[in-house]
Structure 1
Amino acid sequence: MKPKAWSWLVFLLGFAYFALPLIGTLEFSLRKRRGEYSLDAYVWVFEDTQFRETFGYSVVMALLTIVFGMLLVVPTAYWVRLRYPRLRPVVEFITLLPLVIPPIVIVFGYIRLYNTSSFLPMTGTTFGTNLLLMFGYVTLSLPYMYRAVDTGLRTIDVRTLTEAAQSLGAGWVTIIGRIILPNVLIAVMSGAFVTFAIVIGEFVLAALLNRPAFGPYMQLIGANRAYEPAALAVIAFTITWFCIGLMQVASRMTPQSRAKRS
């Protein structure tokens, strides 16, 4: 068999692996009315105020997590690559820890350290609990965001760009914000896609911190209804990929991206 045929075979197998479960979920979500297909399950979901509130809350938390993660990871990865390359294995090990530490351990640590009887009672206020949740999301997305940014930094000559900017009188904030970040923006957006997906579907942190997020809402509907969870899964998939598509379009509208394509 020719290499091109093998490529198409692998593509079709991968497409079937991901598409068939979604098609089956879509077909099941249309069977709420016995004997015929209908959109009753979708109507119920869109009329539920909790759906709009929880999904909107998770989208806002996802955007805040992406911004905070970008502000944390980009300067860190840049500084390690420029000044402290020997610390790179240590930083990579630290960023891998969220993959081996379960989220339930992280959230119990938050509750233990920041409960109302501690020196910093963040769980006693809505703002403080939301802040803890965002920090938890940043922690969970750290392995993906850091590696995406680090890969982007490998494609550019960080030292030469820094020295050229310093010779023109640019400070560190200007160098990172106007030179480094635009050049790794595509890599940042790659990490942002994964971060967005993690936040939308995350359950443990939001449930134990008692936040009105989309993950606990999906679990609640799944435990009490039959067809609506399937409709909810299809809607969430569609909206999530639509938001990711908007982020991708926004990243390609930057001057640097247009210059590379031209």
Structure 2
Amino acid sequence: MFDFSMKMQRGKYSFEAYRVVLADPQFQQTFGYSVVLALLTIVLGVLIVVPTAYIVRLRFPVVRPLVEFITLMPLVIPPIVIVFGYIRIYNTSSILPFTGSWLGTNVLVLFGYAMLALPYMYRSVDTGMRTIDIASLTEAAQSLGAGWGRILATVILPNVFVSVLSGAFLTFAIVIGEYVFAALLNLNTFGPYMVWMGGNRAYEPSALAVVAFLITWACMGLMQLVTRFSKSSLAKR
């Protein structure tokens, strides 16, 4: 695919296809839009997952298998089922017509993306919490007068920050390439743009696919680097 993307100019190898793609205003708009959605999804996922994993491990360890089962559901239920559920429940004739406005549709997409990334984010955070003594840290913070919000923000989150970053990189990679939600809810994101490009151009789609692969590989590489750096820092301590 990379070899084919370099053959846009006949008789020689060049990066012309990449230049055309990267200079395309629609690419810049859709990619920037997807990046913003990905960052907001990461924030939303952290706000949902970190307190949930913390409370389950600290107060309700009995329900942990149930929570793990619930977090696996996005891997079983196809995204298209969720989208059609959105359209049916939140259409313009509904009491809550979210799909009838740009802001409402974006809110629904954010929650949908957070749900798609839930299995990866939850397991990353839960694995990080296994490595620390949550009960002792909580008791120590409470003895110093810290409330629940401060404990989560200044004690628990810094200790599982590497795990949160791992989940964040996976979430970013998922959102950047997601197609079903954006296409059926009529959002101009990077996923539908790649599909459109694939149906209308020859060499540019290959270049675009290579760019998408590089983004995903970069996320995976950063995740590995962060994890390795964290392990080396702990070893030095």
- TM class by smaller structure: over 0.9
Distance 1:205 1:102 in 2: 11
After superposition, where does 1:40-119 map in structure 2 within 5 Å?
40-119=16-95
CA drift at 1:238: 3.0
8 Å Cα contact 1:189/1:248 also seen in 2:
no
| Shift in CA distance, 93/243, structure 1 to aligned 2, threshold 3 Å | closer
Residue 142 of structure 1 aligns with which residue? 118
The answer to whether 1:30 aligns with 2:10 is no
Aligned partners of 1:29 and 1:228 also within 8 Å: yes
Aligned residues: 237
Structure-2 residue corresponding to 1:158: 134
Partner of 1:126: 102
> Are 1:228 and 2:204 counterparts?
yes
Counterpart CA distance in 2 for 1:253 and 1:173 is 28
Equivalent pair of 1:200/1:215 in contact (CA under 8 Å): yes
* Cα drift, residue 28 of structure 1: 1.1
Contact kept, 8 Å, 1:185 with 1:251, in 2: the verdict is no
Q: Report how far residue 258 of structure 1 moved.
A: 6.0
Identity %: 67
**What are the ranges of 5 or more consecutive residues in structure 2 without an aligned counterpart?**
none
Letter matched to residue 173 of structure 1: G
**Given residue 67 of structure 1, which amino acid in structure 2 is its aligned partner?**
V
Find the residue that maps to 1:50 and give its secondary structure: helix
Deviation at 1:233, TM superposition (A): 1.4
Instruction: Give 5+ residue unaligned stretches, structure 1.
Output: 1-24
Give the direction of change, closer, same or farther, for the CA distance of 1:71–1:248 in structure 2 (3 Å limit): farther
8 Å contact 2:173–2:219 — kept in the other structure?
no
Q: What is the rounded CA distance, in whole Å, between the counterparts of 1:250 and 1:134 in structure 2?
A: 26
Q: Does 1:174 align with 2:150?
A: yes
**Counterpart contact for 2:8–2:14, Cα < 8 Å:** yes
| Paired amino acid for 2:139 | E
What do residues 161-181 of structure 1 show as CA deviations (whole Å, max 9, x unaligned)? 001111110000000000000
Structure 1: distance between partners of 2:87 and 2:66: 27
The 3 A distance-change label for structure 1 pair 243 and 187 is closer
> TM-score, normalized by length of structure 2?
0.93
TM-score by length of 1: 0.84
Query: Alpha carbons of 1:260 and 1:186: their partners in 2 closer, same or farther (altered >3 Å)?
Result: farther
CA distance in 2, matches of 1:49, 1:247: 30
1:15 maps to none
Letter matched to residue 120 of structure 1: L
Structure 1 distance, partners of 2:45, 2:223, is 16
1:143-200 C-alpha deviation (Å, 9 max, x unpaired):
1111111111100000010011111100000000000000001111111111111001
Give the whole-Å Cα distance in 2 for the aligned partners of 1:261 and 1:63: 32
Which amino acid is the alignment partner of residue 211 of structure 1?
L
CA RMSD of aligned residues (A): 2.3
Contact 2:99 2:105 in 1 (8 A): yes
